[in-house]
Structure 1
Amino acid sequence: MRSILMTGCSSGIGYDAAHALKSQGWRVLATCRQQKDCDRLKGEGLESFVLDYEDPQSIKDAFDHAMTLTDGTLDALYNNGAYAIPAAVEDLPVEALRQNFEANFFGWHDLTRRVIPVMRRQGHGHIIQCSSVLGLVAMPWRGSYNSTKFALEGLTDTLRLEMRGTGIHIVTIEPGPITSDFRRNARLQFDKWIDWKASARADQYRNSLVPRLTNASKDPDKFELPSKAVSDILIKALNSSKPRAHYYVTMPTWIAAIARRLLPQRIIDYIMSKA
């Protein structure tokens, strides 16, 4: 039975992937940030325990527990857990950005570094990073998330080059809009960090961003796909002995990837400013 350590499994992409891989015969170690979510997943037949990317001790404890469960082996790592802090860059507190990088970037790097020696000893493994279309192109109001994903793309591309010949495959999945609790969770972060009423852009927040966050479940993106679309690609990458470096999920991601190669930046900026 192949084993995989997964993060961000409480809902959305991670939740669907955990159940999909279990149904495919994988031993799934499905982690969440909160114990209550782990308990829920255990009730659904999954092995689940806490891993919080913002807490280095939690990362260490979760990794050590995973190694105990698998007798020190691991076939795959799926870094997935992440969140956004929607706001104009000028209104984004430094501490908010720092915390977002802990959750979306530094915690991923910490866990990945712990896994690599295990896979080196085995001579094989897959490390899958769930990035985003927003790791390819920037969009307004998404500066915090954009910056974490752009950083992740660069770090992962470098790691892939360095892992050539080791038997460890490094893969990036770039989803576009996926049905999940992502916007609902983003609203929680927005309320925590952003004093939008004091912003020079208060009218824009009031007329655009706040209504969109408030109606997250009622206003789906027209290109939105279910989480299964990502799970299908994850399974494809894990089952491949020569996986692609990048897998695009949803039409917006394909369009963004093509546009980035073919269009002048000023045209891309114009299109993205209207998004």
Structure 2
Amino acid sequence: MTQTKEFSYPSSDGVHTIHAHEWFPQSSPIAVIQIVHGVAEHIGRYQHLAQFLTAHGFVVCGEDHLGHGLTVNDGRYGYFAPRGGWDLVTQDVRRLREIEGKKFPGLPHVLLGHSMGSFLTRTYLIRWPGTVDGAVLSGTGQEKAPLVAFGRLLAGGLAALKGSDYVSPLIYELSLGAYNKKFQPARTRADWLSRDRDMVDANLNDPLCAFQPTVSMFRDMMEGLQFIASKKNLSKMDVDTPIYFLSGDQDPVGSMGKGVRKVEAMFRSAGCRDVTVKLYAGGRHEMFNELNRQEVMEDLLVWLEQRFFD
């Protein structure tokens, strides 16, 4: 059985306490994999991935972001902060990396970011280059700059008008709510996540996933997308850090593969020397919850072993 531990540490916002989780292998650990989860989910959803990785000698860790999972103690789900939320959440990811670095000095440390977590990971790679040994970007993408700017303006305007914790049905339908349109007639509002009905239903029935983000969180995320699209910022990355993109070619977040290739090109243009892309035919947004998730995890293992243990 995989050994687990839950703990907490102070958030960068000076107010909240971040809930974190660790999974340990039975043997001596060979590396640390830090999972950075996506929007409207939590680190507990990665239990099966953690069990797979610990069975192969990895320590796995991750935290619930501000406004997510068990970090929420004030009922404000989908809310980062009044201002500067993207920076705060990224700093919380950095703090966990520092904590794990002290626990496991000298071991390779890899960030694995999914969806919004991939955007946070890309932000991390810019802000703290050379402080991780690799990055896995799952379900990533990059919307066109005018659309991102419009989203930031609209969400920011609503936050100023109605309050930073306001939840806008309009913004939700224009963003996350629009992803399901690719899969009509749809069985549920979350068919875009996976072809595996059980996994979709588990998400819909999870009380920690049953919320819509606030307008300020959408604004913060748009600010983050602008930050990671900047050529100036991309040039700050450590070009020797290995990068692994994995996505379904039917993932609307990655524009059905085109957005993933766009980000790949951005990384290559920034000089990154070790970039791998894996697009899975028919796969949707959550490849670790897809019908072929065993294949996806085994491919990840191969990439990790080739980079760090050959």
Q: Give the TM-score category using the shorter length.
A: 0.3 to 0.5
TM-score, length basis structure 1: 0.38
* Structure ranking higher in helix proportion: 1
TM-score, length basis structure 2: 0.35
